[in-house]
Amino acid sequence: MSDLTATELPGTAERALPGPVHHKGPGPAESGWLEPRGRGHGGRALALHRVTGLVIVVYLYLHLGVLSMLLIGRSSWGSFLSLVTAKGFLALEVVLIGTVLFHGLNGIRVALVGSGIAVKQERTMLWVAATVGTAGVIFAALHILGAL
Amino acid sequence: MNRDMDTEQTDTRRIRVYRYKRGDGKERFDEFDVPVGPHTTVLDALRWIQLHRDPSLTLRHSCLHASCGTCGMQVDGREELACVCSLSDHGAEVTVEPLANLPILTDLVVDMTGFFERFPHAHPIIRASELPVDENGGPDGHHAEVSLQTELALHHHPLHHLHRAAPPGQDFMRLEDCIECGLCLSACPVASTSQEYVGPAALAAAERLLEEPRGVRREDVLAWASQPEGAWRCHVGLECTQACPTDAIPAERIMALRRALMFGDNDDNEGER
């Protein structure tokens, strides 16, 4: 008869392994900040801040790539300009302005809250950023699209 | 079993419960239809499942009144204490998951070791009642000294106005409201990115030490908080304060800690300059 001890029980080694770390959202753990369920205004502002930051970075590289067309010649630059002055592209420009406005204004809020200077006013500042940003987008839309 | 389920059953909810058993190697969701009353909590429903459907469902709970902090979990993606989370606040289907950012032991039970290890090593006892008493049964000299320091510190603290009404002289009990449930760590968007981040509860405890050092050197606390995975790792998502079931305001305390790191003082007027 075998000397049955706890270490001999089936599954003992597996049970000794650390369990998985649960995280939010369906993707990898690092994307948990994108999960919208259960988030408050601060978490959503943080997620939007990161997304707009990524959009701006991608835009900057695109912008540099587009400027490099100047090296190709006048005709290629002219045909490119006719493309980007189409209504669809101009609408994207309005979206870009909204992205930059939110990222910049919320960045000021994050800096003031994150340095402990205006913690109590963080919600108010988010509303101010949203209001100013929306007004800026409307102004930009009227200015850019209204000229068509 | 919950009284509502016996006498006031009015509805049925589908509860999707996260399941994981070590050795199984797979995570999954099991669904249970649970009879609920108007006041049935998530914990009531989970215990009903244990009693009537699946006794292998494992969860952790103790006090049943939001005091012990052991039944923390995610309900529809939001961090809640299951014992006080009413199902009537949720829809026909409710998803229950363990806390995020901590290793799972089994089902809804997470290993809290990593949570407690995040706290400052010099984290002293908090409750004055745990201090030694003198030969007359009263608090010893150290206690009297602590109380004096507390009173002086609190009247200048930037978060003093946020404290709920409390008897005079007892505001210093505020962070004792932290029941170390781990909801803040689970809700924190940064903690999902970095397992090394010490997290909101530990940073709030450190800030509490600035209010009432209790023998800990202020410089040591600030040095601990200024480490790369400390106060500066916070990205101001403020989810910790939102998730906190006891209003221990961890996010605001992290910001106060940062101000102390930057301005060398946690006085409100210093920060407004």
Which tens digits make up the pLDDT trace of A27-73? 887 888 888 888 999 999 999 999 999 999 999 999 998 888 888 88
Q: What is the DSSP letter of B119?
A: S
Domain that holds residue A137: 20-145
Residues B40 and B99 in one domain: yes
Residue B173, pLDDT above cutoff 60? no
For the domain that residue A114 is a member of, what is the CATH number? 1.20.1300.10
From the list A29, A45, A119, the residue facing B255 with the nearest CB is A119
The pairing of beta strand B93-97 with beta strand B72-75? antiparallel
Residues B167 and B246 in one domain: yes
**CA-to-CA distance for B7 and A135, rounded, in angstroms?**
55
**CA-to-CA distance for A37 and B91, rounded, in angstroms?**
14
The mean pLDDT value for B73-79 works out to 95
B193 Cβ partners below 8 Å, 6+ apart?
A29, A30, A32, A33
- Put residue A50 in one of left, alpha, beta given phi > 0 → left and psi -120 to 50 → alpha: alpha
Q: Which chain A residue lies closest to B161 (C-alpha atoms)?
A: A120
Instruction: Please report the DSSP string for B155-214 in residue order.
Output: TT-TTGGGSPP--TT-GGGGGGG----SHHHHH-HHHHH-TT---HHHHHHHHHHHH--T
The mean pLDDT value for B149-160 works out to 41
Q: Among B110, B138, B170, identify where a domain stops.
A: B110
Listed in order, strand segments (DSSP E) in chain B are 11-20, 27-36, 72-75, 78-81, 93-97, 104-106, 109-110
- Domains in chain A: how many in total? 1
What pLDDT is attached to residue B148? Answer: 32
What pLDDT is attached to residue B200? Answer: 96
The mean pLDDT value for B137-160 works out to 40
Residue B163, pLDDT above cutoff 70? no
What pLDDT is attached to residue B247? Answer: 85
Residues B134 and B222 in one domain: yes
Residues B217 and B179 in one domain: yes
- Which chain B residues are within 8 Å of A45, Cβ to Cβ? 237
Average pLDDT, chain B: 80
Coil vs helix vs strand at B16 = strand
Q: Among B59, B79, B110, identify where a domain stops.
A: B110
Q: Which ipTM did the prediction report?
A: 0.81
- Which chain B residues are within 8 Å of A113, Cβ to Cβ? 236, 255
Residue A11 lies in a domain: no
**B272/A117 Cβ within 8 A:** yes
- For tokens 């005091």, name the residue: B67
Residue B269, pLDDT above cutoff 60? no
- Which chain B residues are within 8 Å of A24, Cβ to Cβ? 74, 77, 100, 192
Residues B204 and B149 in one domain: yes
B213 Cβ partners below 8 Å, 6+ apart?
B149, B221
Which tens digits make up the pLDDT trace of B221-267? 899 999 999 999 999 999 999 999 998 899 999 999 999 999 876 54
Residues B96 and B142 in one domain: no
Residue A2 lies in a domain: no
pLDDT band at residue B102, thresholds of 50, 70 and 90?
very high
Furthest-apart CA atoms within chain B: distance in Å: 62
Residue A3 lies in a domain: no
**B102/A33 Cβ within 8 A:** no
Coil vs helix vs strand at B35 = strand
What pLDDT is attached to residue B139? Answer: 45
What pLDDT is attached to residue A6? Answer: 54
Residue with more model confidence, B139 or B62: B62
**A38/B76 Cβ within 8 A:** yes
Which tens digits make up the pLDDT trace of B174-184? 456 789 999 99
What pLDDT is attached to residue B129? Answer: 44
pLDDT band at residue B55, thresholds of 50, 70 and 90?
very high
How many CB atoms are closer than 10 A to CB B185?
Answer: 31
* Cα–Cα distance list, B240 to A8, A40, A95, A129, B103 (Å): 43, 10, 31, 22, 19
Q: Among B91, B110, B129, identify where a domain stops.
A: B110
CB B32 within 8 A of CB B121: no
Domain that holds residue B153: 117-272
pTM score above 0.90: no
Residues B106 and B125 in one domain: no
Coil vs helix vs strand at A36 = coil
From the list A30, A33, A40, the residue facing B238 with the nearest CB is A40
The mean pLDDT value for B38-62 works out to 96
**CA-to-CA distance for A56 and A48, rounded, in angstroms?**
12
